[in-house]
Amino acid sequence: MIIQRVVLNSRPGKNGVPVAENFRLEESTIADTVQAGQVRVKTLYLSVDPYMRCRMNEDTGSDYLQPWQLSEVADGGGIGVVEESKHDNLAKGDFVTSFTWPWQTVAILDGSLLQKLVPQLVNGRLSYFLGAAGITGLTALLGIREKGHVAVGANQTMVVSGAAGACGSLAGQIGRLEGCSRVVGIAGTDEKCSILVQEMGFDAAINYKKGDVAKQLRELCPGGVDVYFDNVGGDISDTVISQMNQNSHIILCGQISQYNKDVPYPPPLPPDIEKIQKERNITRERFLVLNYMDKQEASVLQLCQWIQEGKLKVRETVVEGLANIGAAFQSMMNGGNIGKQIVLVSK
C-alpha cells in the first residue's frame, strides 16, 4: 500500500532555529496484510509540541526522549481510526491514540500499544485527546497538583508564562479551579492577552514585548507570587522568580526560550536569581508527567468533566494536511499559535 509520510530531512543544530525544511514529505509503502495483534489505522490528527525540538538533536539531553533519525519517519502524539484489526480488543471503526504515532497517512501498529478513545467524553472533539484531555492537560493538572501546592482558601497568586500556549492556557484555568485566588498570564501579543482574560478567565495578562514586565508584575501581583507555572525559562522566568514569596513554588513545565541553545535541562539560574530562590526557599524541581501515569485515568476523567461542564475553555490552532506539518512546527516554535497546535491529516 502506498502512503505519505514525513521524515526528518535535516537537523537545525543544537543552537539553530527549526524551519519547515527540516522535514520532508515523501511517498512510502506499508504491507498489504495485517499480522496477528496488529491493526491498520488511518491517521486523523497529529500533535505538534515544543518538546519535539529536543528530538531534532542527535542527543536529546534527556534519557526518556529518543532522537528522530535522519530520513526516518517522525512520530509523536496521534489519533486515528482502525480500518482493519487482528487485535482482540480493537475493532474496525474504533478511535485510538498513541504517544508514538508515526507521521504518516496510514500505519500498521501493534494494537497493545494503542489506547481506545471514547469521543463522548469530549463532546465528540477527538482532537481534544491530544490536548486538553490528553498529555497536555495532564501536564497542566498534575504539574499543579504535584508541584504547585495549591490550596483552596490560601489566597494564592499564580503566574503562568507562555500562557497562551497549549499547556499554559490550560494551567491558568486549572490553577483557578484548584483554588488559586488570582491568576496572571504572560504572553507575546495583545490578542493573546485579550483571549486569556476575556475567554479563559485569567485576572490579567502581560504582553512581555511591551513595557516593563517587572513593573507590571508588581502592579498585578501586589502580594507577590506564590505559584509560578514556568513554560519558558530565560529572562521572563528570572523576572517572575525575583517577585516570588517565601516558601513559594515553581512548576518547571518547559523552557522553550532555551530549546535552541546548548544548555542542560533544566537550565541553571543566573547567580543572583539562584540566590533569591535559595534564600526564599522556592522549590524548583524538574517535573515529568510520565512519572505520574498511575494517576492518568482519574485525571483524564477530571479534565473531561471540566470540558463537558464548560469550566475548561479549549483553544486549538489547526493546520490541514500532512504536507504542512513542518510549517506548523516552525510556527509553534516561533510562538505563532494560540492553544494546542494540531495537524488535521484526514477527515
For the stretch 111-150, pLDDT in tens is 999 999 999 999 999 999 999 999 999 999 999 999 999 9
Report pTM.
Answer: 0.91
Amino acid 265: pLDDT? 62
CA distance 318 to 15: 28
DSSP state of 129: G
Contact 328, 343 (CB under 8 A): yes
Least confident stretch, 145-154, 215-224, 248-257, 297-306: 248-257
CATH, domain range 2-131+315-344: 3.90.180.10
Which three cell numbers mark 255?
A: 523552557
> pLDDT, tens digit, for every residue of 262-295?
555 677 899 999 999 999 999 998 888 888 989 9
CA distance 150 to 148: 5
**Residue extent(s) of CATH 3.40.50.720 domains in the chain:** 135-290
Amino acid 15: pLDDT? 83
**Residue extent(s) of CATH 3.90.180.10 domains in the chain:** 2-131+315-344
CATH 3.40.50.720 fits 135-290, yes or no: yes
Amino acid 211: pLDDT? 87
How many Cα atoms are found within 13 Å in the side-chain-facing hemisphere of 263?
15
Query: Within 10 Å of residue 277's Cβ, how many Cβ atoms?
Result: 18
Amino acid 84: pLDDT? 98
- SS3 string, 228-279, reads EEECCCHHHHHHHHCCEEEEEEEEECCCHHHCCCCCCCCCCCCHHHHHHHHH
Mean pLDDT of the chain: 94
Contact 203, 227 (CB under 8 A): no
Helix 135-143 to helix 166-178 angle (10° resolution) is: 40
Place of cell 511591551: 210
Q: What is residue 169's three-state secondary structure?
A: helix
CA distance 166 to 178: 19
Q: What is the mean pLDDT of residues 77-99?
A: 97
DSSP state letters, 105-132: SEEEEEGGG-EE--GGGGTT-GGGGGTT
CA distance 238 to 214: 10
